[in-house]
Amino acid sequence: MKKIGIFCGADISFPLSLIDYINSKEEDVTAELVKIGAYRIDDKLNYDIIFDRVSQSVPMYQSILKSLFAKGKIVINNPFTRCLEDYFFQLSLAKDLGLNIPETAIIPTKQHPIGTTSETFQNLIYPLDWSELFDYIGFPMFVRMNLLSSENLTYKVYNPMEFFSAYDNSGSRQLVVQKAYDFSNYYRAFIIGKKNIKIFTYDITKPLVSRYSKDNSTLSPSHRKEIESVATKLSELYNLDFNTIDFAVFDGKIYILNFYNTAPKIDTIIFDTDEYQWFVFTTGDFLLSVLDNPQDYLRTSRWHTVFRI
């Protein structure tokens, strides 16, 4: 009996629907939630595939999944892509690929991170030339955390006084600043198995239950083609099998705003029945296809070659 194990957090409805779908479709496959306690370094989880929906919030799970992955276990998404949670690094990669991104800069923390003092920062210019930074980014600008976080610390500031007020409240959090374009439209693309793509018009200013819309009438055929092409390219390049990418349009050009979000909330309260079933069926079918051809999947994974698996 082949087994699929699922790590999940508070967003439980999608994983449970996925388990029901897989168990109803294949008699020789069992899907279930993973249960672990104190985990010994030579322990092995008895699963052929592990689908991860929560390790970004639980360091213990990250350590376990990286260890399992290095030993040859198939983990989706692979745990070593967590380096892409670094927003500045993520956008740097996108720019190097020739994609459009807003002007972005990373800035020193307001307070010393834990375990550091002023002597730690021998390489840091002080005082910083804030005027030069403001000239590069321009106002208005976003001040936001550099890592994915439940804190969601993001400010839109319109002048230096508002910037320094936000900066003074940031403590030791690592921030980036980014030009706030007046984007005409936002879109979020869900990508499953690197090739199954569903695009929604997305409005982050609305409550979560109202952010997604199937009405893509503002999305031109050329922009749709570009979004699908970029989504496929990024997914293949960084081995992302379950992910969302945020796009926006300004002056007729597609911009990348975020291309790493491996555990977006998926719920029947947010999506209608057809949309929700697409997530469940497409994810389930993808996991089953990997289960049928695990060696083919491993051969396409750049990360596995690091460990000579």
CA 299-303-308 angle, 5° bins: 70
Give 252-287 pLDDT, tens digit per residue. 999 999 999 999 999 999 999 999 999 999 999 999
pLDDT at residue number 71: 86
Q: Residue 301: which pLDDT band, with cuts at 50, 70 and 90?
A: low
**How high is the pLDDT of residue 304?**
53
Amino acid at 63: S
Residue 43 has pLDDT above 90, yes or no: no
Average pLDDT over the chain, rounded to whole?
Answer: 92
Does the pLDDT of residue 52 top 70, yes or no? Answer: yes
Angle of the 160-168 helix axis to the 130-137 helix axis, nearest 10: 110
The region of weakest confidence among 77-91, 213-227, 287-301 is 287-301
For the chain, give the percent of residues with pLDDT over 70: 95
Q: What is the mean pLDDT of residues 179-184?
A: 94
Query: Across the beta sheet with 104-107, what order do the strands follow?
Result: 104-107, 175-179, 141-145, 154-157
Q: Mean of the pLDDT values across residues 64-83?
A: 91
CB 7 within 8 A of CB 50: yes
pLDDT value at position 302? 60
What is the dihedral sign for C-alpha 178, 184, 189, 195? negative
Tell me the per-residue pLDDT of 93-143, one tens digit each, with 9 for 90 and over: 999 999 999 999 999 999 999 999 989 999 999 899 999 999 999 999 999
3-state secondary structure 227-295: HHHHHHHHHHHCCCCEEEEEEEEECCEEEEEECCCCCCCCCCCCCCHHHHHHHHHHHHHHHHHHHHCHH
Question: In order of start, what are the domains of the chain with their CATH numbers?
Answer: 2-77+285-306 (3.40.50.20), 80-102+181-261 (3.30.470.20), 103-179 (3.30.1490)
Contact call for residues 227 and 187 (beta carbons, < 8 A): yes
The predicted model scores a pTM of 0.92
- 232: pLDDT strictly greater than 50: yes
Lowest mean pLDDT among 25-34, 42-51, 57-66, 205-214: 205-214
Confidence category of residue 308, pLDDT binned at 50, 70, 90: very low
For residue 230, the model assigns a pLDDT of 97
| pLDDT above 90 coverage of the chain, percent | 77
